[in-house]
């Protein structure tokens, strides 16, 4: 091993610069070409070349060297990185040898003196193929062995998954000195693979065998390489690893590597892996034709969804990207990230509030955007129940400001980010998002394409349960869950953002796009999975407490209601619904009443007007209790209705006094 290490160090010194590397491999190839030519004559004449054949040998060798050097250079084989020599590279080297030998043979038979031993042509081809493949394979082997020889912190690990991803991970472990794992073998739940070899390592058994195999091989970790696994399958794999006492990590997804969000070869298993969200298939050409060379503006650009939208949009090379947000620090962070990851992109951070119409006008006037993604909103349910006027002023009037200014400045596409809480809303956040949907749709009159995109909870977004649960686990617990049966739809931030772009490329105007969210997830189960991923035991190491539903919360969310009719969509994960709408004139009158209620701080009038606009809105009992005398008999009736069914508009009117 010491010898390999010394050789590898010498190679590293030679290959330290690009110029040195290129000259080194050119010199090596020229030497091999010459050796193959001379060797073909030596083998043909049993190492005693006759004097009358020496001139032919030197002339043929010169032709071989020149023709092969030109052929290898033309086919790009003088620039390859030999450390990563692969089977595909071997095929390219073989093809180059055949092509060069054919060309050389024609020149040699034309110019070399007779008699010429034609068998040397075949011998030269074989020798040159062995030499050129051998030096590349040998270089890779020496560097791999040397990289392992000086590594003293290797952790013994199994690769769980004996497919293509597992083989790729094994190759990375062997070739990358920073990948400090010593692979003991493979684990795979397909019994037909047991006992087989993958790149020289055996498939030792299934997940159930891990406790025995881990003890026998003194393994410490399992590297999960099953990119096609569903959420339930991935959970089962993780459970096998836990029972064997192994730490477990997984490969990053292709989307993560393509976006540059990860640099390591393996990462910790995340709760997103356990949900089994499949990769999004996008209409890349449609999205690119929409965004490329366009000026795009994103409101709420420093938030979870807004910042990810910026990352995704940047990939399609817009002419400029404007990030609008009122959070100075968060906007600075996304600006720094965009400068670092997309240095050629013209990214313009602009501080401002969507409630400030003048500021919005300044930004639109300066940049003249052609596409607007409106992600700015107040979204925390309990906080919006306590701040009803602020919810309306931001989510409704802020949206109206951005939408109407977009129309004034000739924006082609306006896309509003909505929420599943807009369906049969029971809280102020949900009803304001539904009113925002109606407001946006009422503006559709042949100008900009106004659409809304509705989806559920996003894993890891600001204020979502996952960061909260992680902080509670880090503090030693307990994890607080509102209700044992509370369920929510979940998707990842990149998935949601990519589907928003896909939906916007399909827009004709006036649609509400609804993203397919899969099956709802019980929040308590999500909490337990996070505890397990932290290496702890739920209900033992970390306690789970149920605190009761918060004001305005529903046990189950919906993505659409029965009144919304399905129309044809162009993507398997996107559905298009056309529900109730309001003419712009009627919407303007409603907005006037809401504005007056906000200005006078008349909460009764505000709630009644929202109920008029969204008849299936059920005010929470906490909000109703703020409107009237708690002793009024109508209150109990309204509260009961809010908990069980949709309260009729007139019943809510009577409950709050019946007067505007």
Q: Return the bridge partners of 197, or none.
A: 202
Q: How confident is the model over 454-461, as a mean pLDDT?
A: 70
pLDDT of residue 131: 87
- The pairing of strands 201-205 and 221-224 is unpaired
Q: What are phi and psi of 570, to 5 degrees?
A: -115, 15
**In angstroms, rounded to a whole number, what is the distance separating the alpha carbons of residues 420 and 141?**
55
For every residue of 420-453, DSSP letters joined together read GGGSS--SHHHHHHHHHHHHHHHT-SSSSEEEEE
Cβ contact 628:642 at 8 Å: no
pLDDT at 291 over 80: yes
pLDDT-based confidence at 295, cuts 50/70/90? very high
Give me the chain's average pLDDT, please: 79
The set of residues, in sequence order, having a beta carbon less than 8 Å from that of 391 and lying 6+ positions away, is 378, 384, 428, 429, 432
Q: What pLDDT, on a 0 to 100 scale, did the predictor assign at position 465? A: 73
Residue 456 binned pLDDT confidence (cut-offs 50, 70, 90): confident
Give the tens place of pLDDT for each residue, 358-411.
999 999 999 999 999 999 999 888 899 989 999 999 999 999 999 999 999 999
CA torsion 284-286-287-293 (nearest 10°) is: 110
Residue 658 neighbours by CB under 8 Å, 6+ apart: none
Residue 260 has pLDDT above 50, yes or no: no
pLDDT at 29: 83
What's the CA gap between 220 and 246, in Å, rounded?
5
Asked whether 129 and 97 are in contact (CB, 8 A), the reply is yes
pLDDT at site 653: 56
Torsion of CA 9, 15, 20, 23, to 10 degrees: 100
Residue 562, both tokens: 């029965």
So what's the pLDDT on residue 296?
95
Q: How would you label 564-576 residue by residue, b for 16+ Cβ within 10 Å and e otherwise?
A: beeeebebebbbb
Instruction: List pLDDT tens digits, range 590-615.
Output: 999 999 999 999 999 999 999 999 98
More confident residue, 252 or 64: 64
Q: What is the CA radius of gyration of the chain?
A: 33
Q: Rounded distance, CA 35 to CA 112, Å?
A: 19
Burial group, residue 404, by CB count within 10 angstroms (0-12, 13-18, 19+): middle
Q: How many CB atoms lie under 10 A from the CB of residue 329?
A: 7
Distance CA(595)–CA(193), nearest Å, equals 68
Q: What's the CA gap between 276 and 151, in Å, rounded?
A: 35
Higher per-residue pLDDT: 7 or 21 = 21
pLDDT band for position 262 (cuts 50, 70, 90) = very low
Distance of alpha carbon 175 from alpha carbon 142, whole angstroms: 10
Alpha-carbon span 439 to 620, nearest angstrom:
23
Least confidently predicted of 90-94, 122-126, 349-353? 90-94
Tokens of 427: 């809280």
Name which residue leads in pLDDT, 466 or 221: 221
pLDDT, average across residues 219-228: 83
Secondary structure (DSSP) of 126-173:
HHHHHHHHHHHHHHHHHHHHHHHHT----EEEEEE--SHHHHHHHHHH
Q: Which two three-digit tokens encode residue 394?
A: 């931001």
Q: How many CB atoms lie within 10 A of CB 168?
A: 14
**Residue 588, both tokens:** 């303007």
* Most confident by average pLDDT, 289-293, 345-349, 456-460, 510-514: 345-349
Query: How many angstroms separate the CA atoms of 149 and 6, rounded?
Result: 11
Nearest alpha-carbon partner for 222 in 204, 208, 238, 235: 238
Backbone angles phi, psi at 542, to 5 degrees: -125, 120
- Per-residue pLDDT band for 114 (boundaries 50, 70, 90) equals confident
Residue ranges of domains in the chain, CATH in brackets: 2-149 (no CATH), 155-269 (3.40.50.720), 284-578 (3.40.50.720), 603-655 (no CATH)
| Alpha-carbon separation of residue 131 from 33, 35, 283, 330, 498 (angstroms) | 8, 9, 46, 57, 49
pLDDT band at 636 (very low <50, low <70, confident <90, very high): very low
Higher pLDDT: 85 or 244? It is 244
> Higher model confidence: residue 265 or residue 222?
222
How far is the C-alpha of 623 from the C-alpha of 252, rounded, in Å? Answer: 45
Q: Does the pLDDT of residue 277 top 60, yes or no?
A: no
Q: Out of 240-249, 341-350, 431-440, 459-468, which region has the weakest mean confidence (pLDDT)?
A: 459-468
Cβ atoms 297, 324 nearer than 8 A? yes
Place of tokens 């008029």: 612
pLDDT of 437 reads 92
Torsion of CA 319, 324, 329, 335, to 10 degrees: 0
- Residue 15 confidence (pLDDT) above 60: no
- Given a cut of 60, whether residue 654 has pLDDT beyond it is no
Least Cα distance to 320 among 375, 357, 363 occurs for 363
Residue 16's SS3 state is coil
What pLDDT is attached to residue 74?
84
- Rounded distance, CA 381 to CA 392, Å? 13
Mean pLDDT over 516-541 rounds to: 74
Q: pLDDT above 70 covers what percent of the chain?
A: 76
User: What pLDDT is stored for residue 658 in this prediction?
Assistant: 46
Q: What pLDDT shows up at residue 92?
A: 84
Q: Is 613 helix (H, G, I), strand (E, B) or coil?
A: helix
Q: 186-197 pLDDT, tens per residue?
A: 989 888 889 888
**First vs last C-alpha separation in the chain:** 88
Q: What is the pLDDT of residue 294?
A: 93
CA pair distance 322, 310, nearest whole angstrom: 9
Q: Are 611 and 641 spatial neighbours (Cβ–Cβ below 8 Å)?
A: no
Most trustworthy range by pLDDT among 229-243, 267-281, 409-423? 409-423
Determine which of 2-6, 202-206, 515-519, 588-592 has the lowest per-residue pLDDT on average.
Answer: 2-6
Give bridge partners of residue 566 from the DSSP assignment.
577
Indicate whether 463 pLDDT > 90. no
Bond prior to 115 in cis (omega within 30° of 0) = yes
What Cα–Cα distance (Å) separates residue 4 from each residue in 33, 82, 177, 493, 544?
25, 16, 14, 46, 55
Which DSSP letter does residue 77 get? T
How far is residue 627's CA from residue 289's CA, in Å, rounded to a whole number? Answer: 51
Angle of CA points 643, 647, 649, to nearest 5°:
155
What per-residue confidence (pLDDT) applies to 597? 94
């Amino acid at each position: 091993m010491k010898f390999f290490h010394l050789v590898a160090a010498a190679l590293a010194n030679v290959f330290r610069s690009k110029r040195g590397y290129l000259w080194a491999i050119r010199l090596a190839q020229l030497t091999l070409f010459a050796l193959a030519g001379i060797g073909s004559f030596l083998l043909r004449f049993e190492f005693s070349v006759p004097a009358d054949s020496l001139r032919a040998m030197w002339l043929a060798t010169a032709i071989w060297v020149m023709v092969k050097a030109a052929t290898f250079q033309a086919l790009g084989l003088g620039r390859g990185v030999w450390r990563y020599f692969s089977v595909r590279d071997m095929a390219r080297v073989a093809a180059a040898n055949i092509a060069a030998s054919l060309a050389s043979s024609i020149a040699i038979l034309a110019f070399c003196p007779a008699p010429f031993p034609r068998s040397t042509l075949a011998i030269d081809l074989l020798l040159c193929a062995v030499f050129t493949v051998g030096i590349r394979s040998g270089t890779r082997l020496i560097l791999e062995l040397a990289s392992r020889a000086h590594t003293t912190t290797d952790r013994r690990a199994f690769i769980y998954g004996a497919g293509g991803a597992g083989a790729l991970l094994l190759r990375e472990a062997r070739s990358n000195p920073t990948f400090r794992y010593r692979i003991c073998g493979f684990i795979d739940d397909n019994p037909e693979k047991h006992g087989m070899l993958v790149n020289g390592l055996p498939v030792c058994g299934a997940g159930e065998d891990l406790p025995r195999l881990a003890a026998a091989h003194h393994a410490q970790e399992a590297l999960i390489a099953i990119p096609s696994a569903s959420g339930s399958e991935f959970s089962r794999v993780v459970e096998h690893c836990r029972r064997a006492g192994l730490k477990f990590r997984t490969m990053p997804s292709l989307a993560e590597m393509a976006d540059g969000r990860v640099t390591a070869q393996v990462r910790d298993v995340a709760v997103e892996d356990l949900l089994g969200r499949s990769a999004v298939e996008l209409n890349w050409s449609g999205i690119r034709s929409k965004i490329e060379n366009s000026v795009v503006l994103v409101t709420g650009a420093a938030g979870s969804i807004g910042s990810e939208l910026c990352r995704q949009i940047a990939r399609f090379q817009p002419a400029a990207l404007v990030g609008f947000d009122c959070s100075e620090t968060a906007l600075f962070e996304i600006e720094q990230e965009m400068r670092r990851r997309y240095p050629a992109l013209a990214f313009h951070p602009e501080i401002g509030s969507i409630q400030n119409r003048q500021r919005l006008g300044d930004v639109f006037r300066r940049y003249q955007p052609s596409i607007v993604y409106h992600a700015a909103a107040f979204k925390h349910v309990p906080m919006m129940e306590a701040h009803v006027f602020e919810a309306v002023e931001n989510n409704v009037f802020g949206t109206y400001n951005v939408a109407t200014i977009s129309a004034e400045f000739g924006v082609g596409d306006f896309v509003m980010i909505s929420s599943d809480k807009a369906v049969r809303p029971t809280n102020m956040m949900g009803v304001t998002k539904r009113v925002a949907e109606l407001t946006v749709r009422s503006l559709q009159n042949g100008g900009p394409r106004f659409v809304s995109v509705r989806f559920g909870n996003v894993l890891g977004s600001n204020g979502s349960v996952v960061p909260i649960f992680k902080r509670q686990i880090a503090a030693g617990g307990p994890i607080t869950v509102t209700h044992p049966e509370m369920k929510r739809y979940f998707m990842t931030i990149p998935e949601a953002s990519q589907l928003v772009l896909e939906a916007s490329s399909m827009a004709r105007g006036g649609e509400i796009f609804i993203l397919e969210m899969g099956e709802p997830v019980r929040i308590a189960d999500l909490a337990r999975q996070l505890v397990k991923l932290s290496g702890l035991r739920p209900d033992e190491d970390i306690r789970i407490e149920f605190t009761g539903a918060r004001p305005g919360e529903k046990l189950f969310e919906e993505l659409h209601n029965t009144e919304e009719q399905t129309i044809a969509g162009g993507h398997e994960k996107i559905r298009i619904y056309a529900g109730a709408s309001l003419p712009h004139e009627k919407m303007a009158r409603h907005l006037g009443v809401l504005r007056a209620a906000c200005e006078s701080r008349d909460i009764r009038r505000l709630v009644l007007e929202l109920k008029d606009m969204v008849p299936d809105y059920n005010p929470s009992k906490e909000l109703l209790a703020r409107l009237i005398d708690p002793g009024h008999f109508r209150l109990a009736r309204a509260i009961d209705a809010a908990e069980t069914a949709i309260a009729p508009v007139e019943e809510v009117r009577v409950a709050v006094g019946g007067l505007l």
